[in-house]
Amino acid sequence: MSGQIKGEKIYRGIPVSAGVCRGKVLVLHQARHVIARRRIADTELAGEIKRFEQALVRTRQQMVEIQRRVIQNTGASEGDIFDAHMLMLEDRVVIDEVIRMIQEQKSNADFAFHTVTDRYIAAMAREEDEFFRERVDVLRDTSGRVLDNLLEVKDSFDLKRLNEPCILVGHDLSPSMTAQLDRKYVLGFATDIGGKTSHTAILARSLDIPAIVGAQTLSEELETGDYALLDGYNGTVIVNPTDQTLFEYGQLAQIQASLNEKLREIQNQPAVTLDGKTIHLSANIEDQHDIESVLAHGAEGVGLFRTEFLFINRDQLPTEEEQYQVYRQVAAALKPHPVIIRTLDLGGDKFASHLQLAREMNPFLGWRAIRFCLAQPEMFRAQIRAILRASPEGRVKMMYPMISGLDELNQANALVEKCKAELRADQIPFNEAMKIGAMIEIPSAALIADALAKKVSFFSIGSNDLIQYTLAADRTNEKVSHLYEPTHPAILRLIKMTVDAAHAHGIWAGVCGEIAGDPVLTPLLLGLGVDELSAAPAVLDQVKYIIRRVKLSEARELATFALASESSAEIFARCVKFARETAPSLFEGQS
Ligand code: PEP
Ligand code: MG
């Protein structure tokens, strides 16, 4: 069903992960169910009907549960809409027709159900009467859920079923879905919504696959089977690229290949400026499978281990032992380099489906990260104990996300002391001197950095959140992406305050948000006095490349200029100019 679009057509979005890929498009909502007709043997007909009836029962149970949660969270009137869904599940006309089709045509239940409901949906959509047209969505939603149950699809599309390379296009892709993507089959992806520092975008960089977000109505305009080129440098999807376009992209590929050659040459060299300042360059990881990539890109350890990815896409919480095994493995593989394990940061745009948390109005301002952990001491305790137990296996450090004030820090530290006492009593070894740091990602934390600095051994600035909270611009919302400005004077002042407070108290300050992996901003961060940068392994080579071409004295001049400026745009333009002059090879072929 491809080929709606004739000739080349270009769609634009926000580039979030570099690289170019081309291939067949798979539009997620169109691919929600792959339904094939199967012939059922006479002896299996009764079982097939039972399977259908069980799917109806299961769907009903799910709808009752959803209705219960909606009523609990929003009030009874909102929950009423599900009555219509449930009535449809009991519609004898439809049910009998499906059963007849299974029996008479010896058809599999999913095919029979899909065929019958599709006919009703088409007929209702044609009706003039508003009453019927309003019910189309309900029928579509209900039948989709029945098919989910018949086909045992857990998510809206089971990405594990992919069996040929494709470019994924969808309205949205949740971080949990993105975490399941198989690089063998997903060449790249594009979504209608999303921001540059959403966790979906972060995962794309981590998986090192080209991606764009915020492409508006792309998923409605493209069809599964269309042929497209996705440019993750410039944020475009080009459907039916012409020979001329393919030729130009061939040239870009050559430029990239020669840059990659240059980057490989410095992979094992230190990240040191021309005037001798060494910057600690480390990697951001999501799980133990990223170790290979950390080593391949010459990172000096891990500056941010986002442990929440061990908690999502599974049916139960990972046990202390299970977590210990993972932390241990990462620490041992990267020894003698440090591994900074960040304690659980669930909430915001990352959820563990099995925890069944109530929906919040403002999840980024709600029950997230350290707030959630302090309210779930048993779960937090298991993680802290696992980290402590892994600490003798390498240079393990631990840091807390979303610290907003001293109280949280004190409470978390008290829990750590309790865990240490337990381990001591049980004679379980751990490193007594394991360093603990705080993420600075809430403006209040940056403003009281001098007080926090007395309680921790390091700071790691989480610029992704620091920017969204300071500028009140949701990091996942493309509609406010123009306000999400890393070079906003307010952000630079908060970074400077944090770094100065750290240094005044004899501790170091790093950056582990996405700005740490953007070579355009590297000189500015060095000039602001940052000691460590931690980013996705695939972008570290470029950051190191520019560090090795910069003079710290010039980076400081750039920072002085930036701190005196009142305009984000002016600061950004100066950073771009500086970076392009310092390391022109990094920007060749980019608009
Ligand atoms: C950040 O906020 O900058 C950060 C590194 O943490 P996360 O992106 O996981 O919220
Ligand atoms: Mg954060």
Single out the catalytic residue among 166, 373, 512, 575: 512
pLDDT tens digits for 289-313?
A: 999 999 999 999 999 999 999 998 7
SS3 for 554? Answer: helix
Checking if the pLDDT of 139 tops 90, the result is no
Task: List the domain boundaries for the chain.
Answer: 2-31+156-241, 42-151
Stretch 78-104: mean pLDDT: 84
Ligand 1 centre and the CA of 585: distance in Å?
29
Average pLDDT over the chain reads 91
Question: Catalytic residue at 166?
Answer: no
Single out the catalytic residue among 85, 199, 337, 488: 199
**Which residue's CA is the closest to the ligand 1 atom numbered 1?**
462
Tell me what pLDDT residue 590 has.
Answer: 73
Stretch 353-369: mean pLDDT: 85
Ligand 1 centre and the CA of 396: distance in Å?
19
Checking if the pLDDT of 334 tops 70, the result is yes
Tell me what pLDDT residue 239 has.
Answer: 97
Checking if the pLDDT of 31 tops 80, the result is no
Lowest mean pLDDT among 5-19, 61-75, 528-542: 61-75
pLDDT tens digits for 371-413?
A: 999 999 999 999 999 999 999 999 999 999 999 999 999 999 9
Report the percentage of the chain scoring pLDDT > 70.
93
| Residue 568 in contact with ligand 1 by CB distance below 6 A | no
Pocket-testing residue among 342, 351, 400, 465, ligand 1, by greatest number of atoms within 8 A of Cβ: 465
Q: Which atom of ligand 1 is nearest to the CA of 306?
A: 9
Query: Which of the pair, 36 or 413, is modelled with greater confidence?
Result: 413
Ligand 1 centre and the CA of 271: distance in Å?
23
Residue 226 burial class via C-beta count within 10 angstroms: exposed 0-12, middle 13-18, buried 19 and up = buried
Considering the domain delimited by 2-31+156-241, tell me its CATH architecture.
Answer: 3-Layer(bba) Sandwich (3.50)
Q: What's the CA gap between 77 and 63, in Å, rounded?
A: 15
Query: Which of the pair, 164 or 132, is modelled with greater confidence?
Result: 164
Q: Which atom of ligand 1 is nearest to the CA of 199?
A: 8
Ligand nearest to C-alpha 198? 1
Checking if the pLDDT of 74 tops 70, the result is no
**Which residue's CA is the closest to the ligand 1 atom numbered 6?**
462
Checking if the pLDDT of 90 tops 70, the result is yes
Tell me what pLDDT residue 30 has.
Answer: 54
Stretch 65-74: mean pLDDT: 65
pLDDT tens digits for 186-221?
A: 999 999 999 999 989 999 999 999 999 999 999 989
Q: How confident is the model at residue 78 (pLDDT cuts 50, 70, 90)?
A: low
What is 356-425 written as a DSSP string? Answer: -PPP-SSGGGSS-HHHHHHH-HHHHHHHHHHHHHHGGGTEEEEEESS--SHHHHHHHHHHHHHHHHHHHH
Nearest Cα neighbor of 117 from 56, 47, 50 is 56
Checking if the pLDDT of 330 tops 90, the result is yes
Please give the model's pTM, rounded to 2 decimal places: 0.79
Q: Which atom of ligand 1 is nearest to the CA of 513?
A: 3
Lowest mean pLDDT among 69-73, 113-117, 160-164, 432-436: 69-73
Query: Which of the pair, 76 or 526, is modelled with greater confidence?
Result: 526
47, 80 contact by CB (below 8 A) = no
Stretch 479-485: mean pLDDT: 96
| Residue 342 in contact with ligand 1 by CB distance below 6 A | no
Peptide bond into 336 cis (omega under 30): yes
| Residue 397 in contact with ligand 1 by CB distance below 6 A | no
Tell me what pLDDT residue 33 has.
Answer: 66
Tell me what pLDDT residue 62 has.
Answer: 78
Distances (CA, A) of 336 to 297, 395, 460: 16, 6, 20
Tell me what pLDDT residue 2 has.
Answer: 46
| Residue 512 in contact with ligand 1 by CB distance below 6 A | yes
| Residue 347 in contact with ligand 1 by CB distance below 6 A | no
Q: What's the CA gap between 176 and 183, in Å, rounded?
A: 15
Ligand 2 centre and the CA of 441: distance in Å?
6
Using CA atoms of 445, 446, 450, 454 in order, give the dihedral in degrees to the nearest 10: 50
184, 232 contact by CB (below 8 A) = no
DSSP3 helix / strand / coil % (the chain, rounded to 5): 55, 15, 35
**Amino acid residing at 475:** R
Pocket-testing residue among 206, 372, 441, 470, ligand 1, by greatest number of atoms within 8 A of Cβ: 441
Number of CB atoms found within 10 A of residue 268's CB:
7
Question: Catalytic residue at 512?
Answer: yes
Tell me what pLDDT residue 459 has.
Answer: 98
Domain at 42-151, CATH homologous superfamily: PtsI, HPr-binding domain (1.10.274.10)
**Region of residue 587 (left: phi > 0; alpha: psi -120 to 50; beta: else):** alpha
Stretch 9-34: mean pLDDT: 87
Stretch 31-46: mean pLDDT: 81
Tell me what pLDDT residue 1 has.
Answer: 40
**Which residue's CA is the closest to the ligand 1 atom numbered 4?**
462
Q: Which atom of ligand 1 is nearest to the CA of 461?
A: 3
